[in-house]
Amino acid sequence: MPPRSQGDQGMFVTVAKVTKTQGRKGEVAAVLLTDFPERFATRKRLFALDRLDQRSELEVEDHWFHKGGVVFKFAGVDSISQAETLIGSEIQIPRAERAELAGDSVYVSDLIGCIVSDSNREIGRIENVQFGSGEAPLLVVKGEKEILIPFAAEFVEHIDLERKQVHMKLPQGLLELEAPTRGESQPKKD
């Protein structure tokens, strides 16, 4: 398969990443990058995006959860040497096959690139989302400067994903705070 082009980067979502081989019959262990691991039970088709940005379709023969991750057995991958070719690959699904979200929930990946505004003034564009800093994830917003904004329900007025806009009502003084340096860890999850 040819390398991905700019046009198809947004058509797939990464749900796991292969870290090592597992067993002797072509199984691979992967770290989970999804909040819906139970959906692997019904998925028979996944895609592997390798280190050269080449995507290939894989048929899932079996999967099981192990030590906080997932182990896959793919059709046609029947040896350790074949499984080694998948190490480092992102396991993906087509964006259109993502789980439907309830209520006003949104996928983190859909927020990236959205413009954040507060009281009809533009603050900047969401570059990333950080987890683990408290109850609410933090939006990394780049405008005149980089700022971290809590993505908390009480601050969100409206999200328009089609127009890539997030309208917020932020507490007074929040925008005057300095953001941490870029070198800090910024885990991603979808």
Tell me: do 90 and 10 sit in the same domain.
Answer: yes
Per-residue pLDDT band for 71 (boundaries 50, 70, 90) equals: very high
pTM: 0.68
- Give the whole-angstrom CA distance, residue 78 versus residue 81: 9
Q: What are phi and psi of 89, to 5 degrees?
A: -75, 145
Please say if the pLDDT value at position 67 is more than 60: yes
- The two tokens of residue 149 are 């904004």
Nearest to 110 by CA among 4, 10, 8: 10
- The two tokens of residue 44 are 């028979």
Domain housing 90: 6-97
Nearest to 141 by CA among 157, 160, 127, 159: 127
Share of the chain above pLDDT 70, in %: 86
Tell me: do 19 and 84 sit in the same domain.
Answer: yes
Final residue of a domain: which of 41, 62, 97? 97
Does any domain span residue 90?
A: yes
Per-residue pLDDT band for 179 (boundaries 50, 70, 90) equals: very low
Please say if the pLDDT value at position 55 is more than 70: yes
Question: Quick check: helix, strand or coil at residue 110?
Answer: helix
Mean pLDDT of the chain: 86
Tell me: do 85 and 114 sit in the same domain.
Answer: no
Does any domain span residue 186?
A: no
- HSE (CB half, 13 Å, CA atoms) of 155? 17
